[in-house]
Amino acid sequence: MTKEALAREFQTRYQQEPEYFFFCPGRVNLIGEHIDYNGGKVMPCAISLGTYLLVSKNTDKKIRLQCINFPETAALQLQSSYSKTGSEWFNYPLGVINEILQLGHELSGMNMLFYGNLPIGAGLSSSASIEVCTGTALSQIFGLSISGTDMAVLSKKVENEFIGMNCGIMDQFAVAMGKKDKAILLDCDTLDYEYLSFNIGDHVLAIINSNKERKLTDSKYNERFAECGRALKKLKQVLPAENLCDISVAEFEKAKSIINDPVLEKRALHVITENERVSQSKEALINGELSRFGELMYASHQSLKELYEVSGAELDTIVEFSKTYKDCIGARMTGAGFGGCAIALVKKDSFDDFAARLIPYYKGRVGYEPEVFASEIGDGARKI
Ligand code: GLA
For 118-129, write each residue's pLDDT tens digit.
Answer: 988 789 999 999
Note whether residue 381 is domain-resident. Answer: no
Q: Is the CB of 34 under 6 A from ligand 1?
A: yes
Note whether residue 218 is domain-resident. Answer: yes
Note whether residue 368 is domain-resident. Answer: yes
Contacts of 75 (CB under 8 A, 6+ apart): 62, 63, 64, 65
Q: Is the CB of 268 under 6 A from ligand 1?
A: no
Provide mean pLDDT across the span 335-357.
97
Number of domains in the chain: 2
Is 189 in the same domain as 204?
A: no
Q: What is the pTM of this model?
A: 0.97
Provide mean pLDDT across the span 132-153.
98
Rounded Cα gap, residues 131 and 116, in angstroms: 12
Please give the pLDDT value at position 120. 80
Is 208 in the same domain as 187?
A: no
Provide mean pLDDT across the span 206-218.
80
Cβ(344)–Cβ(208) below 8 Å: yes
Q: What share of the chain in percent tops pLDDT 90?
A: 94
Q: Distance from the CA of 244 to the center of ligand 1, in angstroms?
A: 16
User: Per-residue pLDDT tens for 33-47?
Assistant: 999 999 999 999 999
Count of helices and strands (H, E) across the chain: 11, 12
Q: Which of 196, 224, 242 is the last residue of a domain?
A: 196
Note whether residue 382 is domain-resident. Answer: no
Confidence label for 220 from pLDDT (cuts 50, 70 and 90)? confident
Please say if the pLDDT value at position 71 is more than 80.
yes
Task: Report the residue among 30, 34, 132 best suited for mutation to probe ligand 1: largest number of ligand atoms under 8 A from its CB.
Answer: 34
Confidence label for 146 from pLDDT (cuts 50, 70 and 90)? very high
Please say if the pLDDT value at position 232 is more than 90.
yes
Confidence label for 179 from pLDDT (cuts 50, 70 and 90)? very high
Confidence label for 217 from pLDDT (cuts 50, 70 and 90)? very low
Provide mean pLDDT across the span 236-243.
97
Is 70 in the same domain as 166?
A: yes
For residue 109, count other CB atoms closer than 10 A to its CB.
17
Rounded Cα gap, residues 303 and 250, in angstroms: 17
Residue nearest to atom 11 of ligand 1 (CA): 336
Please give the pLDDT value at position 327. 98
- Which CATH number fits the domain that encloses residue 305? 3.30.70.890
Q: Which residue segment(s) compose the domain that 240 sits in?
A: 198-375
| CA 378 to each of CA 49, 61, 103, 213, 341: distance values in angstroms, whole numbers, following the listed order | 9, 36, 30, 26, 18
Rounded Cα gap, residues 168 and 179, in angstroms: 20
Is 205 in the same domain as 152?
A: no
Task: Report the residue among 170, 175, 227 best suited for mutation to probe ligand 1: largest number of ligand atoms under 8 A from its CB.
Answer: 170
For residue 104, count other CB atoms closer than 10 A to its CB.
6
Q: Which of 196, 230, 247 is the last residue of a domain?
A: 196
Note whether residue 380 is domain-resident. Answer: no
Note whether residue 384 is domain-resident. Answer: no
Q: Is the CB of 163 under 6 A from ligand 1?
A: no
User: Per-residue pLDDT tens for 306-328?
Assistant: 999 999 999 999 999 999 999 99
Is 136 in the same domain as 208?
A: no
Is 181 in the same domain as 215?
A: no
Q: Is the CB of 28 under 6 A from ligand 1?
A: no
Is 176 in the same domain as 211?
A: no
Is 14 in the same domain as 126?
A: yes
Is 149 in the same domain as 205?
A: no
Is 77 in the same domain as 149?
A: yes
Angle between helices 126-141 and 91-102 (to 10 degrees): 40
Q: Which of 142, 170, 196 is the last residue of a domain?
A: 196
Q: What is the DSSP string of 301-367?
A: HHHHHHTS----HHHHHHHHHHHH-TTEEEEEEESS-SSSEEEEEEEGGGHHHHHHHHHHHHHHHHS
Please say if the pLDDT value at position 377 is more than 60.
yes
Is 202 in the same domain as 192?
A: no
Rounded Cα gap, residues 129 and 51, in angstroms: 6
Q: Count how many Cα atoms sit within 13 Å of the Cα of residue 138 in the half-sphere of its side chain.
A: 27
- Which CATH number fits the domain that encloses residue 173? 3.30.230.10
Note whether residue 352 is domain-resident. Answer: yes
Residue 49: closest CA among 20, 19, 69, 74: 69
Residue nearest to atom 1 of ligand 1 (CA): 336
Is 355 in the same domain as 210?
A: yes
